[in-house]
Amino acid sequence: MKLIKIDQQSWNTGIEKAKSAYRVFGPVKEKNDHEFKLLEPNEMPDVHCQNTRLSPKSIIYPQSQIMFTYSLDESKEDCRIMKEVENVKSPMAIIGVRPCDALAFPIVRKNFDTPEYQDTYWIKAYEATTFVGLACNNACGTCFCTSAGTGPFGEEGLDVLIIADGDDLYAKPITPKGESFIQTAGWTMKAEASIESRIEELKTSAESSVTSSVPTDQLKNKTTLELYDAPFWEQEAFSCINCGTCTYVCPTCWCFDVQDETHGKSGIRMRNWDSCMFPLFTNHASGHNPRNAKHERLRQRFMHKLKYYVDKYDNGIQCVGCGRCIRLCPVNIDIRKICDKMNNFDADSCVCEATSS
């Protein structure tokens, strides 16, 4: 492990240097929360931020994104012909991505970058980006990353991992992209060999601070229909107001809508984040809706993350354990509890399950 030590001074100068080669994003304080923002000159990412309110997914996959432009001016030759918007991405670097949020990108990539179709918008932004992670020394009460395929020092999806030990920072390059970021930042000081055991200590202590453990090992063994027909969905959805907050704050939710917007004689075709919590998401033009009831929509969200994705990709669950949906749900729906119910569900004894609760 080639660790680089970064003191406070070279951290600041390094980030400034990086800004000349990358559009640098990082967590900054916004009112009561932190958000990822494009950093201004001399603006520093806040490495003491526990985590941002929203994940950094919008940097790669904006909530609203123009795909095409068109003209409805009959005097123009290209009238009613869709034109691609320029889609050249200059290098970006996101500083301070927590390992949970970092893992979300390779998960989401499975949706946008497939053997048959490549989503040019997502892929170009993703490929232009260097992910500079920040290890967590202390988990929140809602974190369960260690049950979701990563951990407070997880590296998947990252190009560099930054580890903070008091005021000292250490950078661990993970990919060639990460090495070139470190080079651009001018961080060259080799860390003393003894730091490795210190970092192991920090890692162990961070992992033990994740108190939620959510077993997912049985999800694959259940059949889709037995989980789909499980008796607990209506009860779990009872308090749900279908606000969609869980889907908007989720780093792995990727669904979108496509809309045309015309101003005068010109317009744009854009895509906007959409949510399986909304009835319109699946409503047919005929009025028929395959997921008309709210419990059917809640079931879709959890079945997608904890069963359909699991079966389709054999890559664990479509959840990174960041806990945002738990913290921000206005009615306290808890994915850990639902995952537990699904993982432990026994169709043969479902009568007891239904009557006991």
Binding site for other proteins (CB under 8 A): 67-68, 70, 72, 79-82, 84, 111-112, 114, 116-120, 123-124, 223-225, 228, 254-260, 262, 267, 269, 271, 274, 276, 281-286, 290-291, 296, 300, 303-304, 307-309, 311-312
User: Least Å distance between CB 108 and other proteins?
Assistant: 11
Distance CA 55, CA 269 (A): 25
Distance of alpha carbon 342 from alpha carbon 323, whole angstroms? 18
- What's the min distance (Å) between Cβ of 147 and other proteins? 22
CB of 78 to other proteins, least distance (A): 9
Residue placing its CB nearer to other proteins in the complex, 13 or 111: 111
Of 276, 292, 294, the C-alpha closest to 284 is 292
Backbone angles phi, psi at 68, to 5 degrees: -140, 165
| Nearest approach, Cβ of residue 315 and other proteins (Å) | 13
Taking the least distance from each CB to other proteins, the nearer of 6 and 338 is 338
Instruction: Give 222-239 as a 3 state SS string.
Output: CCHHHHHCCCCHHHHHCC
Q: What gap in Å lies between CA 297 and CA 291, rounded to an integer?
A: 6
Q: Which residues pair with 164 in a beta bridge?
A: 169
CB closer to other proteins out of 196 and 260 = 260
Distances (CA, A) of 255 to 89, 108, 120, 203, 322: 22, 10, 16, 34, 19
DSSP 149-198: T--TT--TT-SEEEEEETTEEEEEE-SHHHHHHHHHHT--PBPPTTHHHH
Cβ at position 312, least distance to other proteins in Å: 4
Of 127 and 200, which has the nearer Cβ to other proteins? 127
Q: By C-beta, is 50 or 283 nearer to other proteins?
A: 283
Report d(CA 305, CA 122) in Å as an integer.
20
Shorter beta-carbon distance to other proteins: residue 8 or 272: 272
Nearest approach in angstroms of CB 164 to other proteins is: 37
